[in-house]
Amino acid sequence: MNARTRSTLEFILDHLVWFMLLFVLAIFSALVPNYFQIGIFANIIEASSVLGVMSIGLALVIISGHMDLSVESVAALGAMAVGILFCSAGIGMGITLSPEWLMVPMSLLVAIAVGGSVGALNGFLITKAGMNAFIITLASYIWVRGLVVAVSGGRSAQDLAPAIRWFAIQRFIGLPLTAWIAILCFVGFSLIMAKTPFGRHLIMIGGNETATFRAGIRVKRNLIIAFVLAGSIAGLAGWLLAIRTSGATANLGVGLLFNAFAAVVIGGVSLKGGVGSLPGVYAGVLLLSSINTAINLMGLPANFTQVIHGLLVLAAVLLDTFKQTLRQRLA
Amino acid sequence: MTAPLLVLEDIRKNYGAIEALKGISFSIGRGEVVALLGDNGAGKSTLVKIISGGLEPTSGRMLFEGEEFQAKSPAAAKAAGIETVYQDLSLCTNVDVVANFFMGREITRKFLGIPILDERTMEAEVAKALANAGTRIPSLRANVEHLSGGQRQAIELNRFVHWGGKLVLLDEPFAALGVEQTRRGLDMIRQVASQGIGVIIITHIMQQAFQVADRIVVIRQGVVAGDLPRSNTSPDAVVKMITGETLAGTGPAGGRAQ
């Protein structure tokens, strides 16, 4: 095998999920009536914004060799906080600020601060107290959801302030601003992971924590920042969720965690840590979203989506193993 | 006689009831190469971890450049100028050669106040450092998992030569190297020492110790069983100290530097 074919193969392996996405889109466009439309593609991107943003935080933590099961509940808490403060019906307090646009940064700040504090607690317990990330974030997954139900009393908040709703309605090049926020997040965090020392350190910590500690990298500090980021990003996802549904309910976003895991794994992130990139995760999110859309268009019962997502995760893991053996043969 | 670079005084380390180190005292001067010898479980690696900040001693005192010093973390030891090459490799196999070489010390340039990795400069520096040492690695952008054991160890060795510092600890650095690479590694150690850097090398191979060291310190069951200039001893005598047939007495603390 010459160097050219090898580098081509490496390229395909590195970006496999993008090729899968293109392949799936091509198949659906050919077979599913009405699939091949700009509007459908815009819808795929739009529908994936909340899941996409949440997957970024999850991916950061998994790449650094840990786990955050709490992102779904944290997003719900962020959405509920925004809902209670800025909704005018239901349990909403209907706070208004003048000028009106001030509510946008305020609500954003609330959601991110709520998420960031849960993330900080997770990070502190995991790194400083040395507890297992899986258990700690499982606990957070449960108690944060409990908190959402408790503060809302099981009721919902409706009619989010129009100034905040504006993000879901206003479009730029055919996409609502919420979708652009998700895209910007992916671009921003992809750059952080690929180009800054912080991102490089997270990847190396995920690869060999002892080595990074010996090399003088402040491992605990970096990990706490990663957890705070995951929490904050989950809060942002909650903010987007509140905007999308124009309010918040106690069971908002239930099941998103498993989709986020699916997207991250399909996107090529190894659950062992140290391997994976955010653009791949975005492709994974888009892949899930395009399959959902196809199922909707074909009029299949929605339950099928879950079956297909499960199979897709299995396929992704199998594919990953296959990729590993192929790479070893290449090296 | 100048003041020694590092003095260890009665370093002890207990793991519960087990005494891994029972009072180690020796010293090393600037530009001196000390070979630390001893059987498996004698406490050599524990000692290295204490000096490099990976472990805290139960009791005892360390003087670094004449001042009391106890590294709380590897980062603190590095900041003070103590570099360590560990027995089990300290590389992240999931990133490339350049990233490993600059681990924790990445070269950056500011863009809008944000530090951005300067990959091109780093790659050029690594290429230069490896070329100087005569190490050939096919691609600096290949992930370390694709490299052989020898290539990995070469990266670690070149890393410490490049960064220098004041004191270098090498814990069995040549375990995975071939004959030629080992010879080059020993040359590298002499070259480093000639720059005034103190080197402590742990090895199992008597021949290597006698090739490179100025002084030989033997540890047996957590105490210093011998501390002798290379010219005053022989491999046979050292083997006897390691196995405990003769006990040459513990070495003096401080003042043995050249």
Please determine, for residue B252, whether its predicted confidence score (pLDDT) is greater than 60. no
Please determine, for residue A13, whether its predicted confidence score (pLDDT) is greater than 70. yes
Per residue in A43-94, pLDDT (tens digit) is 899 889 999 999 999 999 999 999 999 999 999 999 999 999 988 888 878 7
The pLDDT value given to residue A168: 80
The pLDDT value given to residue B247: 55
Please determine, for residue A280, whether its predicted confidence score (pLDDT) is greater than 50. yes
Nearest to B103 among A212, A274, A331 (CB): A212
Two tokens at A183?
């895209």
Shortest distance, CA A215 to any CA of chain B (angstroms) = 6
Please determine, for residue B256, whether its predicted confidence score (pLDDT) is greater than 60. no
Per residue in B146-179, pLDDT (tens digit) is 887 778 877 887 887 787 788 988 888 777 777 8
The pLDDT value given to residue A1: 60
Whole-model pTM: value is 0.86
Q: Do A207 and B103 touch (CB under 8 A)?
A: no
CA dist A37 and A174 (Å) reads 12
The pLDDT value given to residue B251: 44
Domain B22-92+146-243 has CATH 3.40.50.300: yes
Residues of chain B in contact with residue A215, where contact means CB-CB under 8 angstroms, are 74, 78, 90, 103-105
Q: Are B28 and B167 in contact (CB under 8 A)?
A: yes
User: How much is the average pLDDT of A304-309?
Assistant: 80
The share of chain A scoring above pLDDT 90, in percent, equals 48
Q: Do A215 and B90 touch (CB under 8 A)?
A: yes
Residues of chain A in contact with residue B92, where contact means CB-CB under 8 angstroms, are 203-204, 207-208, 211-212, 274
Two tokens at A141?
């997954």
Is the ipTM of this structure higher than 0.85?
no
User: How much is the average pLDDT of A263-281?
Assistant: 89
The pLDDT value given to residue B255: 37
Judge if the upstream peptide bond of residue A99 is cis by omega within 30 degrees of 0: yes
In chain B, domain spans: 22-92+146-243
Residue in A191, A193, A214 to test binding to B, most B beta-carbons within 10 Å: A214
Categorize the per-residue pLDDT at B254 as very low, low, confident or very high, splitting at 50, 70 and 90: very low
Residue of chain B whose alpha carbon sits nearest to that of A222: B104
Residue B29 has phi, psi (to 5 degrees) of -95, 170
Please determine, for residue A270, whether its predicted confidence score (pLDDT) is greater than 60. yes
User: How much is the average pLDDT of A108-137?
Assistant: 93
Per residue in A154-211, pLDDT (tens digit) is 888 888 888 888 888 888 888 889 999 999 999 999 999 999 999 999 999 999 998 8
B87 touching A, CB under 8 A? no
Instruction: List CB contacts of A300: < 8 A, sequence separation 6 or more.
Output: none
Residue of chain B whose alpha carbon sits nearest to that of A214: B74
Nearest to A211 among B75, B90, B114 (CB): B90
Chain B 98-117, residues with CB within 8 Å of chain A CB atoms: 99, 103-106, 108, 114-117
Categorize the per-residue pLDDT at A331 as very low, low, confident or very high, splitting at 50, 70 and 90: low
Per residue in B19-67, pLDDT (tens digit) is 888 888 888 988 899 998 888 877 888 888 889 888 888 888 888 888 8
Contacting B with CB below 8 Å, chain A residues are 195-197, 200-201, 203-204, 206-208, 210-218, 274-275, 331
Two tokens at A120?
């900080």
The pLDDT value given to residue A76: 95
Question: Which tops the pLDDT comparison, B245 or A15?
Answer: A15
B90 touching A, CB under 8 A? yes
- Specify the DSSP class assigned to residue B232: G
Mean pLDDT of chain B: 82
**How many Cα atoms sit within 13 Å of A159 on the Cβ side?**
9
* Packed helices A103-127 and A71-86: angle between N→C axes, nearest 10 degrees: 150
CA dist A11 and A330 (Å) reads 12
CA dist A314 and A291 (Å) reads 15
Per residue in A235-261, pLDDT (tens digit) is 999 999 999 998 889 889 888 898 898
Question: Which tops the pLDDT comparison, B154 or A279?
Answer: A279
Give B17's strand partners: none
* Residue owning tokens 């959402």: A148
Q: Do B92 and A212 touch (CB under 8 A)?
A: yes
Q: Do A206 and B94 touch (CB under 8 A)?
A: yes
Instruction: List CB contacts of A112: < 8 A, sequence separation 6 or more.
Output: A78, A232, A235, A236, A239
The pLDDT value given to residue B246: 63
Strand order in the sheet with A247-248: A87-90, A157-160, A247-248
β-pairing verdict for B198-202 and B167-171:
parallel
Residue in B85, B103, B159 to test binding to A, most A beta-carbons within 10 Å: B103
Own/partner pairs for B145-151, CB < 8 Å, 24+ apart? Answer: B145/A331, B145/B93, B145/B94, B146/A331, B147/B97, B149/B176, B150/B176, B150/B177, B150/B178, B150/B181
Element holding B215 (H helix, E strand): strand B215-220
Per residue in B78-108, pLDDT (tens digit) is 888 888 887 676 889 889 999 999 988 888 8
Mean pLDDT of chain A: 89
Residue of chain A whose alpha carbon sits nearest to that of B53: A214
The pLDDT value given to residue A325: 80
Please determine, for residue B248, whether its predicted confidence score (pLDDT) is greater than 80. no
